[in-house]
Amino acid sequence: MTIKLNKLTKRFGSLTAVDAIDLDVGDGEVLCLLGPSGCGKTTTLRMVAGLEAATEGDVMLGGKRVNELAPRQRNVAMSFQFYALYPSLSVADNLAYPLHAEKLSGAEIEKRVAQVAKTLQLESILKRTPSQLAEGEKQRVAVGRSIIRDPQCFLFDEPLSRLDVQLREEMRGEIKEVLQDLSRPTVIVTHDQLEALTMADRIAVMRDGRIEQVDTPHNVFQTPSNLFVAGFIGTPQMNLIPATLKGSNGDGLADFAFEGEQSLKIKVDPAVSKLSPGAKVTLGIRPRNLEMSVEPTEDSLSTKIDMVEPMGAETLAHMHDGYHDLRLVTDWRVPLSEGDLMHTRFPPDTTHIFTEDEQVLRSAP
Ligand code: ATP
């Protein structure tokens, strides 16, 4: 079973909410649609579920075009979040609840409840009511209720958004395990990158109705294909500094100038050999990859520390060179004080370069 979207488009009047997207979700694969508010994630999911008609394009389930099928006929399970449980019903009855509309026999319902209870390790608590359950158990029952109809694929819209931080962390791991066992194609909509990075086999990053990149969590983080994905994935955000290529020598040592007279030289060839002197680029470097130097070096930018934020094991420093804000994360033991001058080095092996049209020219190897 697979989900395939071909040039799927949704227009609301003059607004194009989803703009000709192509997407494949493999059998047993968990794909997260990730993007800022309003980028079209929910609309995409609703078109797969049949709750929203596509303006153009195809929704294919298991190789069959289902655009004209009603939601029920598609046999997909869409849940918007893991709903609260019915307090007066036992765990078993809560699990069985969605099956009553299906007109199944009592024996079949019992069989399904037993299966789901086994998958989610709820067997020992089937007779309890929600008030007798720990929070994590309640959430497992709620997950169970959304999977018990045994649909051919699962669609979740912000499933963890209502949970507190600690429970979210627990549930991310649990859901991932459960989904792996179920081996159905699954699409999860989220605007929370941590959720996507931990639960997904692949992430589709969306912006303005389009898909910017589809890749594994590792690759969207490590090799973002454009400036948007680079800035969107990763906290604290990647430093993105506009620069002009002054030139490069035969050894591949490139000379970049920044607004405000500063410049630095780093060895980033062969990428820059594709550019002419004067080319506008953006240098990208993650806050954990910037390095500090007491003395100015050829590959450093001189900055002043504006603010120091302790983050437990690490410290986040906000710096400024008069024109650009930079963020640096370092071990908490490194003494940093507001007002200090610091030379921040751009190591070539962690510096990304983006072209003027915002596409990646060079990923950090
Ligand atoms: P969020 O995380 O905020 O839900 P999203 O990425 O899921 O965002 P959608 O809900 O899919 O985004 O919305 C995409 C765009 O389509 C938004 O601009 C939204 O206002 C618009 N939109 C969604 N549903 C409708 C509708 N029924 N009528 C008109 N416009 C709509």
* Distance, CA of 109 to CA of 154 (rounded, Å): 20
Q: What is the dihedral of CA 85, 90, 91, 95, to 10 degrees?
A: -70
From 42, 81, 160, the mutation candidate for ligand 1 (largest count of ligand atoms within 8 A of CB) is: 42
Q: What percent of the chain has pLDDT over 90?
A: 70
Is the pLDDT at 82 greater than 60? The verdict is: no
The single-letter DSSP state of residue 259 is: T
314-340: pLDDT as tens digits: 999 999 998 999 999 999 999 999 999
The count of residues in the chain is 365
Kindly list the structural domains of the chain, giving each domain's residue range(s) and its CATH number in brackets, ordered by start. 3-232 (3.40.50.300), 239-354 (2.40.50.100)
- How far does residue 40's CA lie from ligand 1's centre (Å)? 6
Closest-lying ligand 1 atom to the alpha carbon of residue 191: 2
* Distance, CA of 328 to CA of 314 (rounded, Å): 10
- How far does residue 360's CA lie from ligand 1's centre (Å)? 29
Closest-lying ligand 1 atom to the alpha carbon of residue 209: 14
Is the pLDDT at 52 greater than 70? The verdict is: yes
Please give the span between the terminal C-alpha atoms of the chain, in angstroms, as a whole number: 36
Mean pLDDT value across residues 332-356: 94
**156 - beta bridge partners?**
79, 188
Closest-lying ligand 1 atom to the alpha carbon of residue 39: 6
- pLDDT of amino acid 135: 76
CA torsion sign, 113 to 114 to 120 to 125?
A: positive
Residue 127 CB burial class (10 angstroms; 0-12, 13-18, ≥19) = exposed
Q: Kindly indicate the confidence band of residue 168, based on its pLDDT and cuts at 50, 70 and 90.
A: confident
* Distance, CA of 263 to CA of 333 (rounded, Å): 30
* Distance, CA of 247 to CA of 245 (rounded, Å): 6
Two structure tokens written together for 32: 């997260």
Burial 67-86 (b: 16+ CB within 10 A, else e): eeeeeeebbbbbbbebeebe
183-198: pLDDT as tens digits: 899 999 999 999 999 9
Cα-flanking dihedrals φ and ψ of residue 66, to 5°? -115, 10
- pLDDT of amino acid 183: 84
From 10, 11, 12, 158, the mutation candidate for ligand 1 (largest count of ligand atoms within 8 A of CB) is: 12
Q: Is 225 helix (H, G, I), strand (E, B) or coil?
A: coil
Closest-lying ligand 1 atom to the alpha carbon of residue 42: 7
- pLDDT of amino acid 75: 85
119-146: pLDDT as tens digits: 888 999 999 999 999 877 887 888 888 8
27-42: pLDDT as tens digits: 999 999 999 999 999 9
- How far does residue 280's CA lie from ligand 1's centre (Å)? 35
* Distance, CA of 20 to CA of 57 (rounded, Å): 7
Task: For Cα atoms 308, 312, 315, give the angle at the middle one, nearest 5 degrees.
Answer: 30
Q: Kindly indicate the confidence band of residue 271, based on its pLDDT and cuts at 50, 70 and 90.
A: confident
Is the pLDDT at 83 greater than 80? The verdict is: no
- pLDDT of amino acid 328: 97
> Of 63-67, 116-120, 186-190, 304-308, where does mean pLDDT reach its minimum?
116-120
Closest to 14 measured CA to CA, from 207, 191, 206, 209: 209
